[in-house]
Amino acid sequence: MTSPSNPARVRLEPHPADPRLGVLRLDRPPVNALDQSMWDDLAAVAAGLHDDGSPYRAVVLTGGPRHFAAGADVTELIDLSPADFDRRNRVLQGAFQALATAPQITVAAIDGYALGGGCELALAADFRIAGRSAVFGLPEITLGIIPGSGGTQRLRRAVGAARAKDLILTGRPVPADEALAIGLVDRVVDDAFGAAVEQGLGFARGPLALRYAKQAIDADLPIEAGLALEADLIATCFASADARAGLRSFVANGPRRATFQGR
């Protein structure tokens, strides 16, 4: 699947190693600044992940070896009226929320700069793997605005309120090693894309239960409501063909030998 309006800038395509693993690639040289056409494309691609017919079980997000995404294209924002900006910002916020809540497991491979909207895109992924050149930041405060596509909410959940305030209120850059130390990323490696693909391939072959486990974890409910959701979701899992295959395989062959079909 390619983006609807500009295939060269936002692409979602199957990985050659396994067509169940999608690669969502941003490609707008030189720094992958997100112009508004890309906001629309990201929204359309993210919505497609929620379709029952989507072929993907996992998705790797990447911007290439030098720049993940350097945030929104500020030159397009200068002349927007407050009302137009509000309308357009909600498109990008909605796109990232659709990515965050997609049934697929998502892994962001971050090399180079992930700033502003680029950092917010990375935060929308289930896992974040950084290259050693990666630099993160939410510098909106230096422009007289605040993060508006999930940054204030997802960064706090990732690193805690105090660290989120430090990064957002100063707008300072965060190198990869510090990002790892504070929990902004899960790993720092030499080859972020290769590591993300390896992880994504494991999820692509995984069971239907992955998406239900993600749904239960991400629900962020009070304990009573969370337990009720968990009970509903395990009942749904138990009724699946995957559960039948997994339970029978465990009895017959021991753990971790089942083959799942995702249904």
pLDDT in tens, 212-245: 999 999 998 999 999 999 999 999 999 999 999 9
Decide the pairing of beta strands 113-115 and 67-69.
Answer: parallel
pLDDT band at 2 (very low <50, low <70, confident <90, very high): very low
Instruction: Tell me: do 155 and 142 sit in the same domain.
Output: yes
User: What digits encode the pLDDT tens for the residues 147-167?
Assistant: 999 999 999 999 999 999 999
Instruction: Tell me: do 200 and 215 sit in the same domain.
Output: no
Q: What's the pTM value of the predicted model, to 2 decimals?
A: 0.93
Instruction: Tell me: do 31 and 90 sit in the same domain.
Output: yes
CA dihedral (174, 186, 228, 46) positive or negative: positive
pLDDT band at 112 (very low <50, low <70, confident <90, very high): very high
Query: How far is the C-alpha of 163 from the C-alpha of 256, rounded, in Å?
Result: 39
- Of 167, 184, 204, the domain-final residue: 204
| Residue 258, pLDDT score | 85
User: What digits encode the pLDDT tens for the residues 57-80?
Assistant: 999 999 978 899 998 899 999 999
Going from the C-alpha of 24 to that of each of 5, 36, 60, 61, 109, the distances in angstroms are: 15, 17, 6, 5, 10
Task: Work out the mean pLDDT of the chain and round it to a whole number.
Answer: 93
Instruction: Tell me: do 110 and 195 sit in the same domain.
Output: yes
Beta-carbon count within 10 A of 123 CB: 25
Between 65 and 182, the more confident residue is 182
Burial 196-219 (b: 16+ CB within 10 A, else e): bbebbbebbebbbbbbbbbebeee
As to burial, measured by CB atoms within 10 angstroms (0-12 exposed, 13-18 middle, 19+ buried), residue 255 is exposed
Q: How far is CA 19 from the centre of its chain?
A: 19
**Total domain count for the chain?**
2
Query: How far is the C-alpha of 125 from the C-alpha of 257, rounded, in Å?
Result: 28
| Residue 46, pLDDT score | 97
CATH number at residue 53: 3.90.226.10
pLDDT mean over 169-182: 98
Instruction: Tell me: do 72 and 167 sit in the same domain.
Output: yes
| 170 neighbors 140 (Cβ within 8 angstroms) | no
The candidate with the shortest Cα–Cα distance to 214, out of 94, 105, 59, 129, is 105
Range of the domain at 223: 209-253
pLDDT mean over 177-198: 98
pLDDT band at 3 (very low <50, low <70, confident <90, very high): very low
| Residue 66, pLDDT score | 86
Residue 94 lies in a domain: yes
Whether the per-residue pLDDT at 181 is higher than 50: the answer is yes
Name the residues annotated as catalytic. Answer: 120, 140
Q: Which two tokens stand for residue 258?
A: 């089942």
pLDDT mean over 77-99: 95
Going from the C-alpha of 63 to that of each of 113, 205, 233, 256, the distances in angstroms are: 10, 24, 34, 34
